Chain A
């Protein structure tokens, strides 16, 4: 059939050959403009790349395959989301406490996905090599997917529960949401190599399994079909992203020995910064899942100590060591979840989700999971606070906490090996004193103080009067700075946060489902008690 001189039968291409032909040759050496004028951001960090062609693409995805597989994932996911919405799946979760965790998710995490989309789109533009550029492009689009699917899933909850309705607004303003916001902005405002080590390697490869695998499995266990579906569907992209993370590390380390100390410094920094961010998941896992799959310390053992150990053993051949502050994370794995819950509980009137004291059943579970720490340090505290609640004088913090200049958590952590002493560090820079929560954060500040002095620290901003809406007159009689600061942050005081018992979410839940809002405490309202047998009610309603 073929014309003369072209008669050989077409060759069958392997996956690798097909990918190489369709991808690797696309770029060219520019000659009308200078390389350094086209890719302006790749030299200032000091990373040396001699040959971008040495980049290995582990997943050889061409766009046709990307669209095909991602399209299939999306069809599956949206079929579930549609069914979830049509069947009011938001009422199938264990109880209304679980929903409080989703508030943290949409307000604190969804916007990070968007930031990640932008960070990777910058790499997609700025890396000279075709292979890493394409990997970054796919990830940029994937991150947009994650923001989108989270919004589409949680929007159903936002219609029926408080505190989820202003997520982009809150993310830019709420005091505790500056923890995730500053984390990702630190990465995006860095150079491209630090960004990719920070996000692809330290965060995604080393740390996110820990958050998303046990957490999403927990969502499934608590009947949240929609969240587990977007979570696991997103994780299937993450598996690709994590592989990008390990490839980028190997590529940087193999390109030039001078890259090793820079990469090590970034691993140390971003491991710690990522760990501090994800500690939020510690408290979500241990306290906010009414039915629990795994405790934080167990997750840390499996996903960091065991799997992270394997990873760093593999990287030892390049001279890379485990993160300097890893021992602290292991030392405090029995402490962080409890310390955070305590701080959120004490500040519950100033947050956008509701709080409760752990039930007897939950405290027994924690005693079992944390035999060395829970009964000794935290059970007595909760029991004391429970007494105060009963006496009608519940414990509350009335002053704003001191925030860490780097991670922006309140300085709530203790010395890793001494759970009774608060860990406080400080550094003087240009005549001003800056406060840090830990040695890990102090290391980071001391390395680049000029960056961290610019942090938008919410508590400082409130004290400086920068957190009031334009209609507010601080000289008016009855001016309440705390109330006004919360209004500025998009938090409805007394509605979004505060005590779970008596909240709109708890009351509505019992009215709508005839089931207790807190499975461990029995009914709060007559909506559950008076209706008697639940299945009768359900039957009558149909």
Chain B
């Protein structure tokens, strides 16, 4: 699972009410994530790997959350994607 890469992956989200719990969940589960705020947009960089956990988003949101809902407010991503019911992961595989 763990990658050895430290190259930055990122996700960029629209800055709005829907994405606040997602951003909070990312901060919580990815201590190395760096959040950059731009007009109307938030870009989050993280070395090697970034994970969004469904349960963490639900904790901040207070309702059930389908990870595919991220797509509505996602602006861009970098890294290899893996998506399951529980986790949305971005990762670089090579160091």
Contact = CB atoms under 8 A, between A and B. Distances in A.
A and B touch in the complex (CB under 8 A): yes
Interface stretch (A160-168, A189-197, A213-221): A213-221
Contacts of A60: 83
B40 to A, nearest CB: 4
Contacts of A294: 38
A239 B41 CA distance: 14
Contact of A72 (B8, B12, B72, B93): B72
B12 A213 contact: yes
Of A221, A228, A310, most B-chain CB atoms within 10 Å: A310
A213 B83 contact: no
B75 A236 contact: yes
B55 to A, nearest CB: 16
Nearest to A222: B39
A69 B72 contact: yes
A243 B77 contact: yes
B10 A307 contact: yes
A14 B5 CA distance: 29
B78 interface: yes
A167 B82 CA distance: 40
A101 to B, nearest CB: 16
Contacts of A59: 71, 81, 83
B7 A58 contact: no
A167 to B, nearest CB: 25
B72 A311 contact: no
A235 B38 CA distance: 15
A72 B41 CA distance: 19
**Max chain A Cβ within 10 angstroms of own Cβ: one of B5, B7, B8, B75:** B75
B38 to A, nearest CB: 5
B90 to A, nearest CB: 10
A: interface residue count bin? 35 or more
Contacts of A16: 84
A15 interface: yes
B75 to A, nearest CB: 4
Nearest to A59: B83
Interface in A98-114: none
Interface string B1-27: 000010111101010000000000000
B9 A310 contact: yes
Interface string A466-497: 00000000000000000000000000000000
Chief secondary structure at chain A's binding surface: helix
Contact of A221 (B39, B76, B85, B92): B39
Contact of B93 (A209, A220, A221, A317): A317
Given A209-B76, A310-B92, A313-B92, A232 B41 contact: yes
Looking at B12, B40, B74, the one whose CB has the most chain A CB atoms below 10 A away is B40
A317 B40 contact: no
A316 B39 CA distance: 35
Nearest to B3: A314
Contacts of B43: 213
B32 interface: no
A246 B71 contact: no
B82 to A, nearest CB: 7
B68 A293 contact: no
A309 to B, nearest CB: 7
A306 interface: yes
Contact of B41 (A213, A240, A246, A306): A213
B41 A73 contact: no
A459 interface: no
Contacts of A542: none
A76 B8 CA distance: 31
Contact of A220 (B39, B69, B81, B92): B39
Nearest to A234: B75
A239 B94 contact: no
A210 to B, nearest CB: 10
A175 B83 CA distance: 45
Contacts of B78: 209, 307, 310-311
B76 A238 contact: yes
Contacts of B72: 69, 72-73, 76, 236
Nearest to B41: A217
Contacts of A317: 93-94
A243 B39 contact: no
B60 to A, nearest CB: 20
Contact of A228 (B8, B40, B83): B40
A336 interface: no
Interface in B46-95: 68-69, 71-85, 92-95
Contacts of B73: 236
B94 A236 contact: no
A215 B8 CA distance: 22
A65 B68 contact: yes
A242 interface: yes
A474 to B, nearest CB: 50
Contacts of B81: 58-59, 243
Contacts of B69: 69
Given A60-B83, A236-B71, A309 B41 contact: no
Given A73-B72, A232-B41, 7 more contacts: A214-B38, A217-B40, A242-B76, A294-B38, A307-B8, A310-B78, A314-B5
Q: Lowest 7 A-B CB distances belong to which pairs?
A: A310-B7, A220-B40, A221-B39, A58-B81, A220-B39, A235-B75, A217-B38
13 contacts: A14-B85, A59-B71, A69-B68, A69-B72, A73-B72, A214-B38, A221-B39, A228-B40, A236-B75, A242-B76, A243-B77, A311-B78, A314-B92
